[in-house]
Amino acid sequence: MSIVTVNDLTVAYGNHQVIDNLSFNINQGDFLVVIGENGVGKTTLVRSMLGFIKPQKGEIIISPQTKIGYVPQFRNIDQEYPLSIRDFIALNVQHSFLPWLRTSERQRVDEIISQTNLQKVADRPLGLASGGEKQRAYLAQALLSNPSLLILDESTASLDNEMKYELLDLVTRFQQQGLSVMFVTHDWDLAQHYGTRFLQMTGDGYLTGPINELPRPEKEAE
Amino acid sequence: MLTLSFMRHAFVASTFIAIVSGFVGVFVVARNLSFLTHTLSEIGFAGGAFAVFIGWPVLNGMIIFTMLSSILVGQMSIKESRREAVTSAVSALFIGLGILFLSLSSANASSATNILFGSVVGINLTEVWQLIYLSIVVILIIFAVYRQLKFTSFDAIGARVSGLNAALYSVIFLIVLALSVSVAAQIVGSLLIFILLTLPAASAKYFTHGVAKMIGLAILFSLLGTWLGLFLGYLTNWPVSFFIAVIEVGIYCCALVKQKLSGAA
């Protein structure tokens, strides 16, 4: 069942066209990898899907029951960031007029902390966390609101190899429980390892199909 | 000292101002609005001067000017890249207006210095009650939108993705900030307002990690500055604002040293 359908999407910044007539869909349970070099419009696609950018043409149909969680590439978290990892995750518990968390809400935060292997560091400042811990905290915050589609935008870009696989293994565990995933990356090895469906974005157009049938750029193929 | 009614009024007023400053300051720091807070204080000065000019209570003029202009500045500087320029322009305009209103009115120079530097020991019982009511309104508004304000202040991207209307909470916060500036200006004056609305919260973030704990600590630092400032002002007959400024800057310097030492460890 399709949860997101993108039809003839065209997005431009002024006169600069970034996405030109892109169409694809995401089915429930997919681990869709959107792969492409820098500058082909991957992040623009994500921002359009999140409603941050209005397309010039085309449509993005998101099924009414689909809730999106988003793990961006960057977040402006410096070393002096004044929240602990637990507090950062709990920011996404918001539907109440009570200033403090109810017991059930605290339990849900603890549960997600445990599922993302952050128990030992949950009370440490987020600003001092390692790159991998930060990404898991962003993931935990996004998962807290029980999304049905998780969008990861180059979330592994700043991680070392071990941490990349650790993060995506974790995401796969949630995907196996029914979460749909859209993973945006330029890393072909990760794409091959985790993806179930693929969309390649290039400067010349868009391709879908099994990853071994997509044209891998020369420098990646080496 | 507390047998004197004006000192009792000053202590009660400064306690409420310190509590409001602690609550609001944490969000001022998280939203990087220190410069806007400083500008609002200048707008407060213009509002106060306008009130003196037409014979209103100073607080009323400050509230009207700061509330209207905070929304104006907020809307004009939605693009972060132009926030500083817009804030500077509005600041320049309102300092000019403040000077104009003072020169047009028959008030003497002490009216201007009271608005600029505060006059907590000159505060009467009616003004104390007005401050208490306003403080309660500010705290109730913050409680009502606490979770949403926290999310939009500390993680704007995450809040936007989760569907929160960032613009709405920004306007709510600017109104709260305008009210707080008007309230706090009574004690430290409009020129030194940013001391209580920024420094205690900026210091608190180096001592703890959590919004509620930061608010608690910022209130504590504000109370320390205002109470000790009043006490030292009473002993020496020097301006209370001077002592509050020195104490809060001292706490902030200690916080920076603590941060540097823990970073080196």
- The whole-model pTM stands at 0.86
Least-confidence region, from A188-192, A215-219, B85-89, B249-253: A215-219
CB-CB: which of B155, B259, B263 is closest to A91? Answer: B155
* Pick from B5, B9, B6, B14: nearest CA to B184: B14
Q: Please give the CATH architecture assigned to the domain spanning A1-67+148-222.
A: 3-Layer(aba) Sandwich (3.40)
The domain in which residue B167 lies consists of 5-264
Which of A82, A99, A142 faces B209 most closely, judged by CB atoms? A82
Chain B residue with Cα closest to A76: B155
Interface contact B209-A141, CB threshold 8 A: no
Distance of alpha carbon B74 from alpha carbon B167, whole angstroms? 9
What is the rounded CA–CA span in Å between residue B146 and residue B252? 26
List of chain B residues whose C-beta atoms are within 8 Å of the C-beta of residue A50: 160-161
pLDDT band of residue A133 (cuts 50, 70, 90) is: very high
Q: Do A70 and B161 touch (CB under 8 A)?
A: yes
Each residue's pLDDT expressed in tens, for chain B with a length of 265 residues: 667 777 888 889 889 989 999 999 999 999 888 888 888 888 888 888 888 888 888 878 888 888 888 777 777 655 666 777 887 888 788 888 888 888 887 666 566 666 666 666 667 788 788 889 989 999 999 999 999 999 999 998 888 888 888 888 988 998 898 888 887 776 667 666 778 999 999 999 999 888 999 999 999 999 999 999 999 998 998 888 889 999 999 999 999 999 888 765 5
Interface test with A, best of B151, B152, B161 (most A CBs within 10 A): B161
Q: Are A200 and A35 in contact (CB under 8 A)?
A: yes
**Residue with the two structure tokens 């409420």:** B16
CATH number at residue B166: 1.10.3470.10
Mark yes or no for CB contact A94/B148 under 8 Å: yes
Cross-chain residue pair A99–B159, CB shorter than 8 Å: no
A157 touching chain B per CB within 8 A? no
A37-49 pLDDT, tens digit each:
888 999 999 999 9
List Cα–Cα distances, B44 to A120, B91, B110, B121, B124, in angstroms.
Answer: 48, 10, 16, 19, 20
d(C-alpha B178, C-alpha A58), whole Å: 43
Q: Do residues B30 and B215 touch, judged by C-beta distance below 8 A?
A: no
Total number of domains in chain B: 1
| pLDDT at residue B110 in the model | 64
A vs B, Cβ pairs < 8 A, gives 70
- For chain B, the C-alpha Rg in angstroms (whole number) is 18
Residue A91 to residue B150, Cβ atoms within 8 A: yes
Q: Where are the domains of chain A?
A: 1-67+148-222, 79-146
A83 and B148 within 8 Å at the Cβ level: the answer is no
Q: Is the ipTM of this complex over 0.85?
A: yes
